A and B are shown apart, each in its own frame.
Chain A
Amino acid sequence: MWLAGIFTIVWMVCWALGIALPMLLTQQLGDKAALTNEILRAATPVIAILVFIPINAMFMVLIERRALALWTVRKGPNRVGPDGNFQTAADAVKLLLKEDITPTGADAVMHTFAPILFFAPSVFGAVPLLAAVTNNHPLFRVLNLPTGIFFVLAAGALPVVALVMAGWASNNKYSLVGGLRSAAQAISYEIPLVLSLITVCLMAGTLDLVKITEQQAGGILNWNLLGGGALTGLNNALAGGGAKALATSYFMGPISYVCAGLLVISLIISFWLYLTGACAEINRIPFDLPEAESELVSGYNTEYSGMKFAIFFLAEFTNLFIVSSITTVMFLGGGDNPIPPYILNNIPGIPQMVAAIRDSYFCSTLHIINPETFFATLWVIAKVYGLVIFAVLIRGTLPRFRIDQLMAFGWKRLIPLSLIVFIIVVFAREFVICHG
């Protein structure tokens, strides 16, 4: 309850700052200057992201510390502000005020540039996701790319360079080992990660994030997690299509049913592969070798302090958030309600509630939100933070791999498995009507 309350409030603050305010401005100036309007329209998502990322990261740190404390019989932050809620804000201010130290013998340019290169991709990598997670909200439609997921992945591959830079430029042996480890790890785990996403793209037949989200609309059975459309026939049948819908989707009879089952299993494995690869990609336990505290002091960021360290820290949590968002969009139906509409609309009160929101002052007059975006955003929040908390739970449970075991696990287990899944999907999808 406490968590739910807090993150709704924080989200609302982010939302008001990042989305509602620019939009109001857009409206105010809309009649007077079309150019200003256009500029604002283009700038709004960027502003939204820039405002959202630090606040969100601060809040995620707080959640992480809270949740960890809960699971490890501790109290967690409880001093700064009511119930310790301002703890991370205070930490952020402290970090920004700290002296910025560049160690002797360090490559000053690279040392400074590394955190920027680490952080920047997480900002522009998040941009195409915006349209997808807000159910293609008109404000964010500008930044939707036809090759959205490709762009996000490409942006996500950049920070590795920054880590190696940071490790090398610090003139510290621990940092160097950390940087090299991160390079090795990222290269190994990028492959299963991308392969698992390619599997999803194959099912969807597109790289467009918005399209992928739209395909998955209509309840949990349509999600890519459960077969990427392999169960859509079942969903349609349940929605009232009856046996005819089944026959249309599973046109080959028993073979189709078997293939649909295979697809479901494959996509669930892909989901797991993606989570594992993503954990390694963003250096979370059990794959946090680049910053293994008990071995490498702090890994690549050992020699960082003050603002530069703050940026590293910020980027790490932002990466976690982005990875969770990608998972949500690619596997968990984006902003889709897990309960299919044919059940939801029969629950008394729900359609009326949606109508009431649509007719309310905020929607009809101010156009701040529309019900679709509103509910989509709520579901995205729930899913993304669910994944974030899942990552925290893993952190609270598992010890760390050794580097050679990590590599062996990546190359000998994950990559063959992702290839097998990929091949199964290639063939099985021919026998079922699915999203793509």
Chain B
Amino acid sequence: MATEIQEIDLKTDEMIINMGPQHPATHGVLRLLLTLDGETVKHVEPVLGHLHRAQEWQGQNRTWFQYQALIDRVDYLSGMFTSWAMARSCEQIDGTVVPPRAEYLRVMVSEMNRITSHLLWLGTYLIDLGAMFGFPFYPFREREKLFDLFEEIAGQRMMFNYIRIGGVLRDPKPEWFDKLKRFLDEFPDRIDEYETIVTQNPIFLKRTKGVGILTQAVAKDYGVTGPCIRSSGIPLDLRRTKPYSVYPELKFDVITFDKEGDTWDRYMARILEMRQSIEIIRQCIDKLPSGDIMGKKQMAGMRIKAGEGFAAVESPRGILGCYVISGGGEKALRFRWRNPSFCNLSVLHELLKGCPLSDIMAIFGSIDVILPDVDR
């Protein structure tokens, strides 16, 4: 007869680890409640709200003029986009006509901001993967150069407050464009440098290929946007699918990948987007019309007509929407933000299920979440 196989019932326990809010790799103050079986993740529950600053409430208790300066802090890595979303929704209600030069400048600075945001992501992502002290500082080198340019036009390096309701704050001097062109000329070489050391690095490939696969169905269900969904093969890019500003006049293609996106695809999507942004900025410099840059008088007590409006822009992290109700006064009646980080983060538990502990950071880093953007 068949020999009986005795099954040894080894009792193992699941371990609950509290990752964050004070953890070196949770990009701020995300708290992940992990249920681990050995080193395998069984369940993950993000606990949000550690950085809740009541941004929407603040918008209803500050004048339009004051709140403009505040929203850069929502997504501090891409302040231009939050400003832009708010400006566009307010202009929608107000019916303000934005001068074409201002529109072009908005596109330019936003794309520059997209580059800085992706550069910082690239650096921190490599830190997440354990290249702790090596590579991450190289992207910062270029980021600082862009910040110098921002400083010249906005007066600040990160909290720009440059895109205002009705236009932009300041017209750059002609030298500024020369500096920008010089940067654009050298920047592709720098991206090549990053790619040489990262893209085909065997350890990097091992850590990212086939890790954290985001299927199209899941991505759609959770409302993932930005490079994450595009790398999964869905060409959702507001700049093309629902064009705004002067994007219809510019030539560029939506970056998508054929297959379902893994972590490496999300990395590659961002690298390609940086290259694309360079081209967009170049086109903007060539096409830049002369003229006025402000369509609405900026003053402390400015008012927006009564009504409601919604506008969305394609931020480095995805679709950033701003919904405003104005009663015609100095303050808004209601602000509501649609933050890409929040929606992208919600997909995390699907991606992390069953992955090893080390992959948490590889996957979490790859969806590029900004915690102030999640918690507002």
* Residue ranges of A at the interface with B (Cβ–Cβ < 8 Å): 68, 71-74, 173-174, 177, 285-286, 288-289, 292-295, 297, 395-405
Contacts and interface: CB of A to CB of B under 8 A. Distances in A.
A427 to B, nearest CB: 32
Contacts of A289: 358
B203 A403 contact: no
Nearest to A405: B206
Contacts of A177: 39, 357
A174 B17 CA distance: 8
B12 to A, nearest CB: 13
A399 B129 contact: yes
The 4 A-B pairs with the shortest beta carbon distances in the complex, nearest first, are A400-B130, A396-B134, A294-B25, A399-B129
A395 B15 contact: no
Interface in B323-376: 356-362
Nearest to A404: B356
B289 interface: no
Interface stretch (B48-56, B135-143, B245-253): B135-143
B23 interface: yes
B201 interface: yes
Nearest to A173: B17
Contacts of B356: 402-404
Contacts of A286: 130, 203
B129 A294 contact: yes
Given A292-B130, A294-B361, A399-B130, 9 more contacts: A72-B133, A173-B17, A174-B17, A289-B358, A293-B24, A294-B132, A397-B131, A399-B129, A401-B206
24 contacts: A74-B137, A174-B17, A285-B131, A285-B132, A293-B24, A293-B25, A293-B130, A294-B127, A294-B129, A294-B361, A395-B132, A396-B133, A398-B131, A398-B134, A398-B201, A398-B203, A399-B201, A399-B203, A399-B207, A400-B207, A400-B358, A402-B207, A403-B357, A405-B207
Contacts of A285: 130-132
A281 to B, nearest CB: 18
Contacts of B361: 294-295
Contact of A403 (B131, B136, B358): B358
Most buried by B among A295, A297, A400, A403: A295
Nearest to B132: A293
B358 A402 contact: yes
Contacts of A395: 132-134
Nearest to A288: B130
B136 A72 contact: yes
B233 to A, nearest CB: 26
A399 B203 CA distance: 7
B134 A71 contact: yes
A402 B134 contact: no
A390 to B, nearest CB: 14
Contacts of A297: 23-24
Interface of B: 15, 17, 23-25, 39, 126-138, 140-141, 197, 201, 203-204, 206-207, 356-362
A73 B24 contact: no
Contacts of B138: 72-73
Nearest to B129: A399
Contacts of A174: 17
A173 B206 CA distance: 26
A68 B206 contact: no
Nearest to B18: A173
Contacts of A74: 137
Nearest to B204: A399
Contacts of A71: 134
A86 to B, nearest CB: 21
A174 to B, nearest CB: 7
B271 to A, nearest CB: 16
Contacts of B127: 294
Contact of A295 (B25, B201, B204): B25
A74 B132 CA distance: 14
Contacts of A72: 133-138
Contacts of B359: 402
A373 B348 CA distance: 61
Nearest to A393: B134
Contact of A294 (B39, B128, B133, B204): B128
Most buried by A among B133, B136, B356: B133
A246 to B, nearest CB: 41
A370 B175 CA distance: 66
A292 B131 CA distance: 10
Most buried by B among A72, A395, A396: A72
Contacts of A295: 25, 357-358, 360-361
Contacts of B126: 399
Nearest to A68: B133
A405 B39 CA distance: 13
Nearest to A64: B133
A377 B15 CA distance: 51
B137 A294 contact: no
A73 B39 contact: no
B135 A397 contact: yes
B203 A401 contact: yes
B365 to A, nearest CB: 8
A295 B136 CA distance: 17
Nearest to B365: A294
B203 A400 contact: yes
Nearest to A394: B134
Contacts of B129: 294, 399-400
A289 B361 CA distance: 13
B35 to A, nearest CB: 12
A320 to B, nearest CB: 15
A73 B358 CA distance: 28
Most buried by B among A74, A293, A294, A295: A294
B134 A173 contact: no
Most buried by B among A285, A292, A399, A401: A399
A112 to B, nearest CB: 25
Contact of B141 (A73, A292, A293): A73
A179 to B, nearest CB: 13
Most buried by A among B15, B131, B359: B131
Contacts of B201: 398-399
Contacts of B15: 173
Contacts of B204: 399
Contacts of A400: 129-132, 203, 207, 358
